[in-house]
Amino acid sequence: MIRAAGIKWSIHPLFVLVMMASIVTGYFVELITLFAIVLVHELGHVVVARGFGWTVREVKLLPFGGVAEVEEAGSLPSREEAIVAIAGPLQNLWMGILAWSFGQMGVWNGDWSDYVWRANLMIGLFNLLPILPLDGGKLMQAALSQTLAFHQTLVWGIRVSLAFSLIMIGYSILPLFHLDSSGIQLNLLAVGLFLFFTNWMSNRHIPFLFLRFLTNRGSSSSRSITKGVWALPIIVTRRHTVSAALRLFKRDSYHLVIVMEEQGRILAVLPEQKLVNGFLADGKSDRAVLDLFM
């Protein structure tokens, strides 16, 4: 692990295994090229993230890209997250075009040019798969958050990621069912298993991820009020619990929680900060929203 520009940079054990395999099989130059491509890909994310004022704490490099940990996770606007996510594959786009152009102009050997642009194409397209924590998974989450509440976004983002991870695993072992095949695609199987177990663990950690969203909600709410925004009302009954109301929160909206009787009479209007702060103060998520007024 090294620290550069205030960010911890580390190599994931999966990448270490790929490196060892490349050295043993004599593909050292290809390995260095792959590492450089992945590094530039991740630098694209970091530069754009810092441009938005994000605090990037750590970047873990993987064979297909990287995972960046940011201080403001859970409170970032979906538009910004989408732009940061697409910044990585865009680096592969210009690097691939440059490598192809060098081959056409004779600057690089044709075989080497083909390897570099194909490697960029593979990494760029692979990262656009709708699987977390890939860039495509983050784009999927940003899109889901436009229509779903944040808790639902977490749940469905992970469900879709698990489904596509299983498809990847199934595709990697498909050659087992063809006798004339060369065997299992071990690299794809390893990546598929990694992505599956990563999302399996994330599924178990949804309560923690949602709590982090709520913890960071105060600062994002303050920014919204300072700028002046339209409030999105959430209508609940006196029987709604604090937990049920919080799960209706949307990522990019500021909410006013309206407690209403079934006949339509408004009992109370609660700014979202009071609901969040009331929950964070005592952790009682099963009490009625109306109790916060008593």
**Domain identity same for 69 and 14:** yes
263 vs 44, higher pLDDT: 44
pLDDT in the model for residue 274: 82
Rounded-to-integer distance, Cα 234 and Cα 252, Å: 14
Q: 211: domain range?
A: 135-215
pLDDT in the model for residue 1: 64
pLDDT greater than 80 at residue 179: no
Mean pLDDT value across residues 227-243: 82
User: Can you give the pTM of this predicted structure?
Assistant: 0.85
Ranking 78-87, 193-202, 223-232, 242-251 by mean pLDDT, the lowest is: 223-232
**Domain identity same for 110 and 182:** no
Residue that terminates a domain, selected from 128, 147, 164: 128
Q: Is residue 217 very low, low, confident or very high in pLDDT (cuts 50, 70, 90)?
A: confident
pLDDT greater than 80 at residue 41: yes
pLDDT greater than 80 at residue 266: yes
**Domain identity same for 89 and 24:** yes
What is the tally of structural domains in the chain?
A: 3
Rounded-to-integer distance, Cα 179 and Cα 202, Å: 37
**Domain identity same for 51 and 153:** no
- Who's near 193: CB < 8 A, 6+ residues apart? 169
**Domain identity same for 208 and 274:** no
Segment (H or E) for 266: strand 266-271
Tokens of 247: 């799960």
**Domain identity same for 156 and 239:** no
CATH of the domain at 240: 3.10.580.10
On average, the pLDDT of the chain sits at: 83
Q: Is residue 238 very low, low, confident or very high in pLDDT (cuts 50, 70, 90)?
A: confident
Rounded-to-integer distance, Cα 276 and Cα 101, Å: 54
Peptide bond into 63 cis (omega under 30): no
Alpha carbon dihedral 65, 69, 70, 72, in 10-degree steps, equals 120
Which of 66-70, 103-107, 156-160, 223-227 has the highest average model confidence (pLDDT)? 156-160
pLDDT in the model for residue 25: 60
pLDDT tens sequence across 50-79 = 898 888 888 888 777 777 788 777 678 889
**Domain identity same for 73 and 37:** yes
Residue that terminates a domain, selected from 63, 96, 128: 128
**Domain identity same for 4 and 20:** yes
Mean pLDDT value across residues 204-216: 89
**Domain identity same for 207 and 239:** no
Give the closest residue to 245 by CA, choosing from 212, 282, 214.
214
Residue that terminates a domain, selected from 198, 215, 232: 215
**Domain identity same for 149 and 184:** yes
Residues 234 and 253 sit within 8 Å (Cβ to Cβ): no
Rounded-to-integer distance, Cα 250 and Cα 31, Å: 43
pLDDT in the model for residue 26: 60
Q: Which residue has the tokens 């530069």?
A: 47
Q: Is residue 157 very low, low, confident or very high in pLDDT (cuts 50, 70, 90)?
A: very high
pLDDT greater than 80 at residue 89: yes
**Domain identity same for 253 and 169:** no
Mean pLDDT value across residues 251-268: 84
**Domain identity same for 96 and 140:** no
The fraction of the chain above a pLDDT of 70, given in percent, is 84
